[in-house]
Amino acid sequence: MKKLFLVPAAAVALFLASCGGSNTNNETAATTDESATSTETTATGEALEPAVFEIEGNDQMQFDKDLFTVKAGQEIQITLKNVGELPKESMGHNFVVLAPGTDVAAFGGEAFKAKDNDYIPATFASSIIAHTKLLGPGESDTITFTIDEPGEYEFVCSFPGHWGTMRGKIVVE
């Protein structure tokens, strides 16, 4: 029974395909919009306004934001505020931007061992694009940086155990 249904369906598909093949002139139309390239000025040297963001870390091991969108080459200014009350030794926060493709779990594991360096692991230095200081309650820190390559850049708090919940991404367009 099923085969009886399939045969007519295939026949219809073939019929439609052969019909559609008759007007092959679509490609010539595509070549006429070359003028559009001269009006788009995205890649010119025009100065972009800095992208200014604020993000908070709290005592529940959470950031209040998990996504930032910027343009390639745009100056990025991010201020991290630790709005918690617990001591820095047990609930410190930072904001670490990682290169695309970084193994975040491996990074978190290394950060765990880097207490002497405020949990910024030297072994991942080449994967770290920017980072704030480690902040105690009520403290804040602002970092300024630029990313030239479009892509998705993860950020985390590298305090031990925090990267699982304190993470998000910067989308560079």
Q: Which of 78, 81, 93, 120 binds Cu ion (CB under 5 A)?
A: 93
Q: How far is the CB of 111 from Cu ion (least distance, A)?
A: 11
Q: Judged by CB, which is closer to Cu ion: 162, or 169?
A: 162
- Tell me how far apart the alpha carbons of residues 2 and 117 are, in angstroms, rounded to a whole number: 68
Piece of 30-38, 40-48, 138-146, 154-162 that binds Cu ion (CB under 5 A): 154-162
Q: Are 80 and 135 in contact (CB under 8 A)?
A: yes
Question: Of 170, 142, 172, which Cα lies nearest the Cα of 154?
Answer: 170
Site membership for Cu ion, residue 131 (CB under 5 A): no
Q: Judged by CB, which is closer to Cu ion: 95, or 172?
A: 95
Q: How far is the CB of 171 from Cu ion (least distance, A)?
A: 22
Report the amino acid identity of residue 73. G
Site membership for Cu ion, residue 107 (CB under 5 A): no
Q: How far is the CB of 162 from Cu ion (least distance, A)?
A: 4
Question: Of 51, 53, 49, 110, which Cα lies nearest the Cα of 80?
Answer: 53
Site membership for Cu ion, residue 159 (CB under 5 A): yes
Piece of 7-15, 44-52, 63-71, 86-94 that binds Cu ion (CB under 5 A): 86-94
44: tokens are 């010119």
Site membership for Cu ion, residue 157 (CB under 5 A): yes
Element (H, E) at 79: strand 75-82
Judge residue 108's burial from the number of C-beta atoms within 10 Å of its C-beta, 0-12 exposed, 13-18 middle, 19 or more buried. Answer: buried
Pairing of the two strands 151-156 and 167-172? antiparallel
Q: How far is the CB of 148 from Cu ion (least distance, A)?
A: 28
Count other C-beta atoms under 10 Å from residue 30's C-beta. 8
Q: How many residues contact Cu ion, by CB under 5 A?
A: 5
Q: Judged by CB, which is closer to Cu ion: 150, or 164?
A: 164
List residues binding Cu ion (CB under 5 A): 93, 157, 159, 162, 166
